[in-house]
C-alpha cells in the first residue's frame, strides 16, 4: 500500500461521499437553479458568518475572483512573500486581475500591522494604489502555521486605518479552526471575502467556495463566469462538499496528531532537521543536511520506490502532509522509509 504524503489534495472520496454524490439533486448552476449548490452556498456563508457565498471549482479561482472583486487593474495587493497567490497561481493576479502584489516578510508565513503601515503607498500619481491585504491561514509555505487571532486583529485594524479591503485565503481554514478550537466565523470576521477548499483537508474531489457581503459575492459570481469557472450540474460536487463539512471537520485533529508523530519520528533520524514543536496542523517540513549526500528530489525518488510519497519543495527541503487517507499506523512505516532512504544515500 502506498502512503501518499505529498499533499492533502490526493485523498479519494469515501464510499459514503460517493453515495451522496450519486444521489445529489441537481440543476443548472449557471442559471442559478442547482438546489444542492444553493444549499452549499447558504451553509458555507452561515459557517463563515457572511451574507452570501459562491461555489467555485478551485482555491485558485476562489482567490482570484476575490482579488478581482475587491480591486481594479493597476491596484497593489499586500501579501506574504510565501503566499499561495504569489507562488502557486501561475501569475494570475497580474494576468487575470491586473494587480501588482507587494510581498511582505515575516516568519511562519505571517506579517504584522507594522508591515502594513510601512508598505502602504502614499496617495501619489506615481504609485499604484494600495488596495487589498491578503492573509493565508493556515500558511502553506509557513509550515501549516496558524495565525494567532490577536495578530489577525492587528492586521485588520491596520488595513482599516488605511482604507484597505481584506481577503482571507482560508484554503485550510478548517485546520486552523480545529487547531485553535475556534469557529471559522470567528477566524473570518473582519475580512471582506474568505475562500476555503473542500478538496484539501475535508477530502472532497473538487471545489472551493467564497463568502462575503452580497455585493462582493455578486462580483465574484460575475468574475467566476468571466474566468471560465461557471459549471452546470455542479450539485454532484456540492453534495460532496456538504458531506465533507458535515462529517470530516472534527477528524482533522487526527491529521494534526499524525503530523506531530511523524515530526517526532523524523527528528530522531541523523541528518534530518525538523522542528517537531512547530508543527501546528497537518504539515511537516524537514531539511536534509549536506552530510546525507542527498537532495530533496533524490530522497523523494528513493521514498517513492519504497511506497512512500513526499514532495520536494527546495534543494534540501521536503514536505509531508497528513490527511484523510493516512492512518496512524502508517506513520511509523513512513519514518522507517525515510531513515532507510537517508542511510542508502549515505552508502550505509
Its pTM stands at 0.96
Check whether residue 48 and residue 97 sit in a common domain.
Answer: yes
Asked if residue 260 is part of any domain, the answer here is yes
Check whether residue 114 and residue 195 sit in a common domain.
Answer: yes
Check whether residue 339 and residue 297 sit in a common domain.
Answer: yes
Q: How many CB atoms lie within 10 A of CB 47?
A: 22
Whole-angstrom distance, CA of residue 225 vs CA of residue 64: 12
pLDDT over 70 (residue 72)? yes
pLDDT of residue 73: 97
What's the pLDDT tens digit per position in 121-138?
999 999 999 999 999 999
Q: What range does the domain containing 30 cover?
A: 15-247
pLDDT over 80 (residue 174)? yes
pLDDT over 70 (residue 116)? yes
Asked if residue 1 is part of any domain, the answer here is no
Q: Are 209 and 44 in contact (CB under 8 A)?
A: yes
Residue 122 buriedness (CB in 10 A; 0-12 / 13-18 / 19+): exposed
Check whether residue 220 and residue 158 sit in a common domain.
Answer: yes
pLDDT over 80 (residue 157)? yes
pLDDT of residue 292: 84
* pLDDT (mean) for 87-100: 97
Residue 290 buriedness (CB in 10 A; 0-12 / 13-18 / 19+): exposed
End-of-domain residue from the set 247, 265, 285: 247
* 347 phi-psi bin (left φ>0, alpha ψ -120 to 50, beta other): left
Check whether residue 176 and residue 300 sit in a common domain.
Answer: no
What's the pLDDT tens digit per position in 3-36?
999 999 999 999 999 999 999 999 999 999 999 9
End-of-domain residue from the set 192, 226, 247: 247
What's the pLDDT tens digit per position in 269-326?
999 999 999 999 999 999 999 888 889 999 999 999 999 999 999 999 999 999 999 9
pLDDT of residue 348: 56
pLDDT of residue 294: 87
Asked if residue 90 is part of any domain, the answer here is yes
End-of-domain residue from the set 196, 230, 247: 247
Whole-angstrom distance, CA of residue 184 vs CA of residue 277: 24
Asked if residue 54 is part of any domain, the answer here is yes
**How many residues does this entry show for the chain?**
348
What's the pLDDT tens digit per position in 212-252?
999 999 999 999 999 999 999 999 999 999 999 999 999 99
Number of domains in the chain: 2
Amino acid at each position: 500500500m502506498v502512503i501518499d504524503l505529498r499533499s492533502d489534495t490526493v485523498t479519494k472520496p469515501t464510499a459514503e461521499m460517493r453515495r451522496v454524490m450519486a444521489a445529489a439533486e441537481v440543476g443548472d448552476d449557471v442559471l442559478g437553479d442547482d438546489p444542492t449548490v444553493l444549499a452549499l452556498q447558504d451553509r458555507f456563508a452561515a459557517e463563515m458568518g457572511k451574507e452570501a457565498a459562491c461555489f467555485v471549482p478551485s482555491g485558485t479561482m476562489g482567490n482570484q475572483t476575490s482579488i478581482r472583486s475587491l480591486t481594479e487593474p493597476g491596484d497593489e495587493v499586500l501579501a506574504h512573500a510565501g503566499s499561495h497567490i504569489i507562488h502557486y497561481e501561475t501569475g494570475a493576479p497580474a494576468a487575470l486581475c491586473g494587480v501588482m502584489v507587494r510581498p511582505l516578510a515575516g516568519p511562519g508565513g505571517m506579517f504584522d500591522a507594522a508591515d502594513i503601515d510601512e508598505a502602504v503607498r502614499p496617495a501619489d500619481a506615481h504609485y499604484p494604489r494600495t488596495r487589498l491585504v491578503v492573509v493565508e491561514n493556515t500558511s502553506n509555505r509557513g509550515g501549516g502555521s496558524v495565525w494567532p487571532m490577536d495578530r489577525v486583529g492587528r492586521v485588520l485594524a491596520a488595513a482599516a486605518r488605511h482604507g484597505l479591503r481584506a481577503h482571507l485565503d482560508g484554503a485550510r481554514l478548517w485546520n486552523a479552526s480545529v487547531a485553535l478550537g475556534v469557529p471559522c466565523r470567528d477566524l473570518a470576521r473582519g475580512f471582506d471575502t474568505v475562500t476555503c477548499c473542500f478538496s484539501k483537508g475535508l477530502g472532497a474531489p473538487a471545489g472551493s467556495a467564497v463568502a462575503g457581503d452580497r455585493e462582493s459575492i455578486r462580483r465574484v459570481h460575475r468574475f467566476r463566469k468571466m474566468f471560465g469557472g461557471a459549471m452546470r450540474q455542479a450539485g454532484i460536487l456540492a453534495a460532496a462538499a456538504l458531506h465533507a463539512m458535515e462529517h470530516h471537520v472534527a477528524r482533522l485533529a487526527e491529521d494534526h496528531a499524525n503530523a506531530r508523530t511523524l515530526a517526532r519520528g523524523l527528528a530522531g533520524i541523523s541528518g534530518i532537521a525538523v522542528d517537531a514543536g512547530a508543527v501546528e496542523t497537518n504539515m511537516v517540513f524537514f531539511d536534509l543536511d549536506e552530510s546525507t549526500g542527498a537532495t530533496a528530489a533524490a530522497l523523494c525518488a528513493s521514498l517513492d520506490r519504497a511506497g512512500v510519497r513526499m514532495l520536494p519543495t527546495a534543494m534540501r527541503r521536503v514536505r509531508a502532509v497528513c490527511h484523510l487517507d493516512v492512518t496512524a499506523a502508517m506513520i511509523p512505516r513512513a519514518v522507517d522509509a525515510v531513515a532507510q532512504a537517508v542511510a542508502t544515500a549515505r552508502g550505509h
